[in-house]
Structure 1
Amino acid sequence: MVNKTHQKQVEQRRAARRAAREAERAAQRRRLAVTITAIVAVLAVVGGVFLVIGLGGDDDAPAANPSTSPSAPVSTGPASAENRATSIPAALFPAPKRVTPLPAEVDCTYNKGAEPASKPVDAPANGKTPATGTTPVTLATTIGDLKFTIDKAAGPCAAKSFLSLVGQKYYDNTECHRMTVGKGLQVLQCGDPTGQGSGGPGYAFQEEAWKELKYGRGTLAMAKTQAAASTGSQFFIVYGDGSGLTPDYTAFGTVDAASLKKIDAVALKGVTPVNGPGDGKPITPVKITSATAAS
């Protein structure tokens, strides 16, 4: 009887120890789950902040552009599918055209920017500006010549600023710092002498978009920040799908088909992501060596 009682007590102690160990393991699992959940939540917040910060900047690209852009990591091989264009529309999009034409002249005002110019440059003169006519511009780049047609009827103040910057050699020896390759947003962004996405000309002006404005293959438009009247020197070329863009960016011209094919080749090579998958620095560098406008 004593032996049986002792054996039973031993089994009870063993069962109690097993239960305690299982309880501790369960508690550890719960603590781990809470920790992981907290980490995920923090990462989600940080990721959101990164997107907000990474898409701020002196001139914001469509939907995004870095204010203090981190240095892009060095690519060690071909871009993954999410970081290169896999489908690019072939047809040119209609040139931007206002539903209601502007008068022959409009008033343009170029205000001093919050940050100094990234490269010495004078702001255009304020006042009346023609809202008719076109001007051809050629960017000599490391991927070949890119040919624009600047349309003053679409964005007269942007056209005046852009042609002024071209004339002052502001865009010479600058690198296109950002490319997006995903569905809805396929653009190449240039115009920041710092190459980081945060630089500008030291002045800013009002956007000239209209609610019916749409963007597509061949549209040339100005970048901006999320704030109003923040257009500066940065511009972007929609080489493919622009359906994800809202009508907030001044369209002021077009890019010809031959130039777009050169940009296509860069997009197919891909990007080193900086602002998220499919959004970063082109693996094939695009450097503007000179910009000239037809006289």
Structure 2
Amino acid sequence: MASSRDRQRKLARAKLDRQLARRAAVAKRRRQIRAGVGAAVVLVLIVAGSAWALGAFDSEPEKQAAEDVCLWTAQDGAVNTNLKDVGEPPTTGLPTSGTRPMTITTNQGGPITVELDQTDAPCGAASLSYLAGRSFFDNTTCHEITAEGALRCGDPTGTGLGGPTYSFFDENVPSAPEPSPSASPAPGQPATYPKGTVAMIGNPPGSNGSQFLIFFKDASPAKPAYSVVGKVTGGLDVVEKIGAMPTVDNGNGAKVKPKTQVLVQSVTVGEPGAAPADSPAPSPSASAG
């Protein structure tokens, strides 16, 4: 009989202990919830206070200064008399995506239309647009047919030494081709500068100005050094015809100058996203920088 009562007491005690443990756990969870809510409220107040202090709730927030897109390095026209001063393009507010059309009119037929790449070469596209808008290229010559298979244009002096009184750095130079036993790219590898590529060329390399190359055949130099700025979209046959011309001495002992003069009559650049002009005649909208 005594043992039965002892067992009942033990069971009752165990039940009470379980109830007390559950109550303690419930009370602990409640304290944790209250603490979490309190911390969240404090965090919200801190964030709101910081935002207020920084002016997030001001009715007229301050405008942030526009960041520079391109850096133009001034060149001394007194030191290099081949340079032509037409000022410099803006450094801010320049398009950094999409394309814009460029039209090159020559005495060899055409026009040659180009799609400028504002995503990978925003500074090259901006420079060409700016210079075209100031008639910088009008009545200049394409003074060289390069050994790599490109027509070199954009120098008002026709010497390879001319340009504007500013320069800018490379921005879209392709990677070197994979090693190959021959001068051509490895099998299946595309050319570094496919036919129709338009690229900037600097003097010295990496110091770009106004001179550009139009490739009339695929090229894969061992050490690419030209910033790709766009591609030909029409008139490539004109470029190929010029590329097949005989060459003569350019006055410096190099037989690279087209025997027949290649005169650039005008270069116009349209608005971003516009289609190339069908007519070679420049228009106010096409010549705007």
TM bin, normalised by shorter chain, reads 0.5 to 0.7
Distance 1:210 1:194, change over 3 A: closer
| Counterparts of 1:225 and 1:133, CA distance in 2 | 28
* Correspondent of 2:151 among 188, 193, 201: 188
Query: Where in structure 2 are the equivalents of 1:89-238 lying within 5 Å?
Result: 107-114=69-76, 115=80, 118-144=83-109, 145-180=111-146, 182=147, 185-212=148-175, 214-228=192-206, 230-238=207-215
Q: Which SS does the other structure have where 2:89 is aligned?
A: coil
- Amino acid corresponding to residue 165 of structure 2 in structure 1: G
Distance across 2 between alignment mates of 1:142 and 1:198: 23
Aligned match of 2:224 in 247, 259, 269?
247
CA contact (8 A) 1:186 1:242 kept: yes
Give the Cα–Cα distance (whole angstroms) in 1 for the partners of residues 163 and 222 of structure 2: 22
Larger relative contact order (CA 8 Å, sep ≥ 6): 1
The verdict on how the C-alpha distance between 1:234 and 1:219 changes in structure 2, with shifts beyond 3 A counting, is same
C-alpha contact 1:222 1:236 (8 A) present in aligned 2: yes
Query: How far has the Cα of 1:116 moved from its partner?
Result: 5.4
Cα distance, 1:151 vs structure 2: 1.0
Distance 2:102 2:149 in 1: 22
- Segments of structure 2 that go 5 or more residues without pairing to the other structure are 1-66, 177-191, 272-289
Deviates more, 1:212-221 or 1:131-140: 212-221
Secondary structure at 1:161's aligned position in 2? helix
Alpha-carbon separation, structure 2, partners of 1:290 and 1:210: 27
Letter paired with 2:193: Y
TM superposition shift of 1:207: 0.8
Change (3 A) 1:174 1:245: farther
Cα distance in 2 for partners of 1:199, 1:159 equals: 19
Kindly provide the CA deviation profile for residues 213-262 of structure 1, in whole angstroms up to 9, marking residues without a partner as x: 7212010000112454x111111101113112633211110013x42211
Correspondence list, 1:7-86, <5 A: none
Return the letter of the residue paired with 2:150: V
CA distance in 2, matches of 1:186, 1:165: 25
Which is higher, the Rg of structure 1 or of structure 2?
2
Q: 1:286 aligns with which of 262, 266, 269?
A: 262
The 2-side partners of 1:255 and 1:265 are apart by 14
Confirm or deny: 8 A CA contact 1:150 1:252 kept in the other structure.
yes
Q: What TM-score results when the alignment is normalised by the length of structure 2?
A: 0.59
Structure 1 residue 161 displacement after superposition:
0.6
Q: Is the 8 A contact 1:209 1:247 kept in 2?
A: no
Change (3 A) 1:254 1:276: farther
Post-superposition offset of 1:124: 0.5
How many pairs does the alignment contain? 185
Q: Does residue 268 in structure 1 map to residue 244 in structure 2?
A: yes
Deviation at 1:128, TM superposition (A): 4.9
Question: What amino acid maps onto 1:221 in structure 2?
Answer: A
Distance 2:240 2:205 in 1: 31
- Distance, in Å, in 1 between the alignment partners of 2:174 and 2:268 is 31
**Aligned 8 A contact 2:248 2:258 in 1:** yes
TM-score scaled by structure 1? 0.58
Letter in 1 for 2:211: Q
* Aligned-partner Cα distance in 2 for 1:219–1:198: 22
- 1:263-290 CA distances to partner (integer Å, 9 max, x unpaired)? 222222221144667x511122211111
